[in-house]
Amino acid sequence: MTEPVVIAIDGPSGAGKGAVTQHLAQRTGFHVLDSGALYRLTGLAARLDGIELSDAPAVAAVARGLAVQFIPTQSGNEPFEIMLRGVAVTDSIRTDQAGVDASTVAALPMVRAALGDRQQAFRQAPGLIADGRDMGTVVFKDALVKIFLTASPEIRAERRYNQLKNKDMDVSLPALLESIQARDTLDSNRAVAPLKPAEDAVVIDSSGMPLEAVHEAIWAVVSKVVT
C-alpha cells in the first residue's frame, strides 16, 4: 500500500511556516503536524516534572509518555487547542522561553528518537503537511514536496514580536532578535538533524514578500504535484 503523501515545510523560527502550513491545509484538506509543538511540549512537561533539561534519559522518557491532544479550533490565532495532560497549554508553549527550552531538548538525540514515531503517526490519508526543522531531511525523507522557508533574522524577530504582542505577551524586539539568533545557531549546529535545507528542497526567502505572495509561491510548487 502506498503511504499518504507528505509536504514538508522546514525552516528557522519565525519564517512563517505556521501560516503557510495552515494555508496549505485549507487548500488541500491534509492533516497538519506542528513538530515544533512536540518539542515545546516536551520541554514544558520536563519542567513541570522538575527534570533538568540536560538529563537526556529522563527528558526522553517524558517525550515518550507525553499525553497530548491537538483539538482543532475554528476561531482565534491558533488552529489547535493544545492540551498537555488534560490542561490547555496553547499559549504557554508559545513563549520565547518555551522556544529556548524546546531547542535545548531538541538537541538531545534520545529525545529526537522518542518523538520520531509520534511524528510518523500523523501521516494519514489524504496527506500531511509537516512543519519543522528536519521534516524533509530526516522524519519524512520521502516527502513529495519539500519547502525550506526562510527570512532574515530581523524580519523573523519582527514577525514573532507581532505574534506574541497579539497574544498580549510582554516581549521586547531586541531580546527576541537575540533569542532567534541564538536558537538559529543551536538548531543549525547541533549534531543530530541540524537545520538545513534538504538537497531536493525548494528554498524560498520570504524576507521582502507579503504573506499572500509567499502563499502563492508555495502553492505554485505544491499544486504541480498535489491535485
Residue ranges binding ligand C5P (CB under 6 A) = 13, 35-36, 39-40, 99, 102-103, 106, 132-134, 183, 187
Q: At its nearest, how many Å lie between ligand C5P and the CB of residue 97?
A: 11
Q: At its nearest, how many Å lie between ligand C5P and the CB of residue 53?
A: 12
Q: In terms of CB distance, is 89 or 106 closer to ligand C5P?
A: 106
Q: In terms of CB distance, is 159 or 183 closer to ligand C5P?
A: 183
Q: In terms of CB distance, is 196 or 223 closer to ligand C5P?
A: 196
Q: Which pairs from 140-145 meet CB under 8 Å and 24+ separation?
A: 140/6, 140/8, 141/198, 142/3, 142/6, 143/5, 143/6, 143/7, 143/8, 144/5, 144/6, 144/7, 144/225, 144/226, 145/7, 145/8, 145/202, 145/221, 145/222, 145/225, 145/226
Could you give the CA distance from residue 227 to residue 207 in angstroms, rounded to a whole number? 28
Q: In terms of CB distance, is 181 or 223 closer to ligand C5P?
A: 181
Q: In terms of CB distance, is 28 or 137 closer to ligand C5P?
A: 137
Q: 95: exposed, middle or buried (C-beta count within 10 Å: 0-12, 13-18, 19+)?
A: middle
Residue nearest to ligand C5P as judged by C-beta position: 36
Q: In terms of CB distance, is 1 or 117 closer to ligand C5P?
A: 117
Cell 527528558 appears where?
59
Pairing of strands 31-34, 80-84: unpaired
Non-local (6+) Cβ contacts of 206 within 8 A are 15, 16, 149, 150, 151, 155, 214
Q: At its nearest, how many Å lie between ligand C5P and the CB of residue 58?
A: 18
Alpha-carbon separation of residue 81 from 4, 77, 93, 156 (angstroms): 25, 10, 11, 24
